[in-house]
């Protein structure tokens, strides 16, 4: 995975729930086959990403980026879901899936679909992207196609910059088959001794710290440049690595390993030490996928299959190049003509000073009323980041409490907490070090915070802390006042420019009390029975949502205004789905806006004919979670961190906050109206479980791009009287 994109792509696929529990058939009166398989639904989500890469109306380098995202997503799916399912089968712990099927059968379905998608992915690159790149002056070439002058130039690059980093590993009685690290790109090399005629095998790892695409000539302009893959360059200089030997065959291969982390927290007193030990173990997980170039000879293939102990279905034969995640490098080229038009987030009008000569003051803005933020359309830097930085530097601020799930490597949020602690304020940081694939980074930030005097805690044993909360306690005129932020996304300035998220800034005393109680529960031994304006998992959220869903069904039975609108990354939880089915049967219109996995079947006669499901994918990753209930004309609308997954409802600390400002309720309603409108580009989920994209009108004109329209709308906002 590309270092600058790891968090982004991990989030794209982090909805791969770590729960392999059996299906929960809560309502025996509903049809048995009422759910869609969650694994195949995830693959359908990644197929939607692939369809964006296939779309020739999308800017060229953005298409390359989508191809890279698809590859990175699939890597994580194999490392977590496929590997975990296989492990359960081999250990005899497998249970029926969420649709009641045998795990071995589902694994076979996954394999068939994954083979199909990877072949389609490779074809998009070879048959569509490469010709388009060539036409745009970005030309991927092979070593054999170059003239002598170019080959000489590349030999100099190889000798000076690549050869010293390479380490060939022989395989013979004195050198056992080497460990092949997960997701590494490798060359298999078969050589023959010129005297004895004996054939040998060697493995050569392609260095991950070197550019995947090497420029042929640095003098070429950005409008006309050629690239060669690093592995192709290395393969054509194997004689330097095996002098005196005859090179018989060389091929590229790649291994994916089981790399999830499982920690038994109740068996250890030191969570960090346990996690560090488990991270080391992760590196040596068993192989679960072997990707090979389609020209690999049978001798080499048999050797790899035997030594890596993979099955026939776990071998993926693809045209070179493998690992198209390397396209992240090409997507970064400075060619704005081949990318989405630059969009600059604007400062929320609610945070602008009343008078133009006033300095921005986040606290003063919040006192004028609740502020609903919508990122990346509204700037994270001038809102949430400014809120925390101002709090760190304000002498009247006495305490800051915050959760940190994922954050960037050079996070100004972390620096603000450190500044606050060094200024003598009470600072509490709840760092969730178990955030998948960010564990090592989070350990580093936790220790840095501790050294600065921040009180660092790791939450509640057995639960991940996934809620996005910040609480600032400020002394004003001798009275303590609470300023709160509750969001749907991580406190990460980098991903805030790419993720669509919502957040609420408020000085509501009740929210402040709720957060104070919740932070006490997370850092101490308090057990809160009730919150006023929050719904909190795992104790209250499931029950609270079910109560509101059932309430809408009751209203519909009485002929009163009822309706449910939910926006999530994924919905798998059977109890929630069954409640939505019952609401549909009662006549409630249910609108579901789902980015990723959806195990709910819409449009089933007598079951879900009143349920519509849409999915929107684009330049920004739809990440906010919204729960809206019509409630007889008095809407109840919540935003927060929870998806409708077993883990979110039962094994994580999640928080939803209720919106109360009428303007905010109107804004949320408008978002759903646009998302569900037939004139908006989106995918629709059919009753058969198939997703259908509609992005062109009947006359061939493009439908509304919701994200582009939203950016234009927010950018065009003006505070009355503000210049």
Tens-place pLDDT, residues 93-147: 767 777 778 888 899 999 999 999 999 999 999 999 999 999 999 999 999 999 9
**Among 1, 667, 674, 692, which residue's Cα sits nearest to residue 348?**
667
Q: What is the CATH number of domain 536-715?
A: 3.30.870.10
Q: Which fold has domain 349-527?
A: Endonuclease; Chain A (3.30.870)
**Residue 71's pLDDT is what?**
97
**Residue 179's pLDDT is what?**
86
148, 153, 154, 159 alpha-carbon torsion, rounded to 10°: 120
**Residue 188's pLDDT is what?**
95
| Architecture of domain 6-338 in this structure | 2-Layer Sandwich (3.30)
Q: Please indicate whether the domains covering 349-527 and 536-715 agree at the CATH topology level.
A: yes
From the candidates 250, 466, 485, 623, give the one annotated as an active-site residue: 466
Local structure of 261: helix, strand or coil = coil
CA distance 663 to 350: 12
- Where along the chain do its domains lie? 6-338, 349-527, 536-715
Query: What is the per-residue DSSP string for 374-435?
Result: EETTB-SIIIIIHHHHHHHH-TTEEEEEEEESS--TT-HHHHHHHHHHHTT-EEEEEE-TTS
Q: Are 574 and 24 in contact (CB under 8 A)?
A: yes
CA distance 61 to 333: 8
Confidence of residue 719 (pLDDT cuts 50, 70, 90): low
Q: How far is CA 68 from the centre of its chain?
A: 13
Partnered with residue 361 across adjacent β-strands are none
CA distance 613 to 609: 11
State mean pLDDT over 225-241.
96
CA distance 489 to 487: 6
**Residue 289's pLDDT is what?**
95
CA distance 353 to 133: 47
pLDDT higher than 70, residue 599: yes
State mean pLDDT over 170-179.
76
Confidence of residue 27 (pLDDT cuts 50, 70, 90): low
Confidence of residue 431 (pLDDT cuts 50, 70, 90): confident
Instruction: For residue 646, indicate whether it is catalytic.
Output: no
**Residue 20's pLDDT is what?**
46
State mean pLDDT over 201-216.
93
State mean pLDDT over 169-198.
86
Cβ neighbours for 715, distance < 8 A, ≥ 6 positions apart: 344, 346, 377
pLDDT higher than 60, residue 542: yes
Q: What is the pLDDT of residues 238-283, one digit of tens each?
A: 999 999 999 999 999 999 988 754 444 443 345 445 444 544 444 4
pLDDT higher than 70, residue 434: no
**Residue 457's pLDDT is what?**
84
**Residue 224's pLDDT is what?**
93
Best mean pLDDT range from 124-128, 419-423, 463-467: 124-128
CA distance 358 to 361: 8
**Among 270, 276, 148, 169, which residue's Cα sits nearest to residue 216?**
148
Q: What angle do CA 186, 191, 196 make, to 5 degrees?
A: 155
**Residue 354's pLDDT is what?**
82
Partnered with residue 645 across adjacent β-strands are none
**Residue 459's pLDDT is what?**
64
Confidence of residue 355 (pLDDT cuts 50, 70, 90): confident
Q: Which residue has the higher pLDDT, 365 or 406?
A: 365
CA distance 343 to 515: 34
């Amino acid at each position: 995975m590309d270092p600058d994109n790891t968090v982004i792509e991990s989030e794209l696929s982090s909805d791969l729930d770590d729960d392999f529990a059996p299906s929960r058939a809560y309502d025996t009166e509903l049809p048995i086959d009422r759910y869609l398989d969650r694994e195949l639904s995830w693959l359908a989500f990644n197929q939607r990403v692939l369809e964006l890469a296939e779309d020739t109306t999308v800017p060229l380098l953005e298409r390359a980026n989508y191809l890279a995202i698809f590859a990175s997503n699939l890597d994580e799916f194999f490392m977590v879901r496929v590997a975990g399912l296989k492990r359960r089968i081999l250990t005899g712990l497998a249970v029926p899936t969420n649709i009641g099927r045998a795990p071995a059968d589902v694994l076979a379905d996954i394999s068939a679909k994954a083979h199909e998608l990877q072949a389609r992915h490779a074809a998009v690159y070879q048959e569509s992207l490469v010709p388009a790149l060539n036409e745009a002056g970005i030309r991927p070439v092979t070593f054999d196609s170059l003239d002598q002058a170019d080959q000489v130039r590349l030999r100099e690059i190889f000798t000076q910059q690549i050869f010293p980093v390479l380490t060939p590993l022989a395989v013979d009685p004195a050198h056992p088959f080497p460990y092949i690290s997960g997701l590494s790109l490798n060359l298999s090399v078969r050589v023959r001794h010129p005297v004895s005629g004996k054939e040998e095998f060697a493995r050569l790892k392609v260095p991950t710290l070197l550019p995947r695409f090497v420029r042929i000539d640095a003098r070429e302009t950005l409008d006309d440049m050629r690239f060669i893959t690093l592995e192709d360059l290395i393969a054509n200089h194997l004689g330097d690595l095996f002098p005196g030997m005859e090179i018989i065959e060389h091929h590229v291969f790649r291994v994916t390993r089981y790399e999830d982390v499982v920690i038994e927290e109740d068996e250890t007193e030191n969570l960090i030490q346990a996690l560090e030990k488990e991270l080391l173990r992760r590196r040596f997980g068993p192989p679960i996928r072997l990707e090979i170039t389609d020209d690999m000879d049978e001798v080499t293939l048999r050797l790899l299959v035997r030594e890596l102990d993979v099955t026939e279905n776990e071998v993926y034969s693809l045209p070179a190049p493998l690992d198209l995640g390397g396209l992240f490098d090409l997507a970064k080229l400075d060619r704005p003509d081949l990318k989405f038009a630059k969009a600059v987030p604007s400062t929320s009008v609610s945070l602008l000073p009343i008078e133009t000569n006033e300095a921005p003051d986040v606290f003063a803005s919040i006192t004028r009323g609740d502020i609903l933020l919508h990122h990346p359309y509204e700037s994270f830097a001038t809102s949430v980041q400014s809120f925390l930085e101002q709090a760190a530097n304000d002498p009247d601020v006495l305490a800051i409490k915050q959760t940190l799930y994922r954050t960037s490597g050079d996070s100004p949020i972390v620096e603000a907490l450190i500044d606050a602690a060094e200024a003598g304020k009470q600072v509490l940081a709840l760092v969730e070090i178990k955030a998948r694939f960010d564990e090592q980074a989070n350990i580093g930030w936790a220790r840095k915070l501790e050294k600065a005097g921040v009180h660092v805690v790791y939450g509640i044993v057995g639960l991940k802390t996934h809620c996005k909360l910040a609480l600032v306690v400020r002394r004003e005129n001798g009275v303590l006042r609470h300023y709160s932020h509750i969001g749907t996304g991580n406190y990460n300035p980098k991903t805030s420019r790419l993720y669509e998220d919502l957040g609420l800034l408020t000085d509501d005393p009740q929210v402040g009390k709720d957060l104070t109680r919740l932070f006490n529960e997370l850092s101490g031994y308090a057990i809160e029975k009730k919150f006023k304006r929050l719904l909190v998992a795992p104790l209250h959220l499931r029950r609270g949502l079910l109560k509101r869903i059932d309430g809408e069904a009751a209203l519909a039975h009485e002929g009163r205004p009822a309706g449910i609108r939910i926006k999530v990354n994924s919905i798998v939880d059977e109890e929630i789905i069954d409640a939505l089915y019952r609401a549909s049967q009662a006549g409630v219109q249910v609108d579901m806006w789902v980015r990723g996995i959806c195990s709910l079947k819409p449009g089933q006669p007598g079951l879900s004919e009143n349920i519509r499901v849409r999915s929107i994918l684009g330049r920004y990753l739809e990440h906010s979670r919204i729960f809206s209930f019509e409630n007889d004309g008095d809407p109840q609308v919540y935003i927060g961190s929870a998806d409708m997954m077993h883990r979110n409802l039962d094994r994580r600390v999640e928080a939803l906050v209720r919106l109360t400002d009428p303007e905010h309720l109107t804004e949320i309603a408008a978002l759903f109206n646009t998302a569900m409108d037939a004139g908006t580009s989106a995918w629709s989920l059919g009753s058969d479980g198939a997703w259908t994209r509609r992005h062109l009108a009947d006359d061939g004109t493009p439908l509304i791009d919701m994200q582009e329209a939203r950016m234009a709308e927010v950018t065009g906002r003006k505070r009355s009287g503000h210049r």
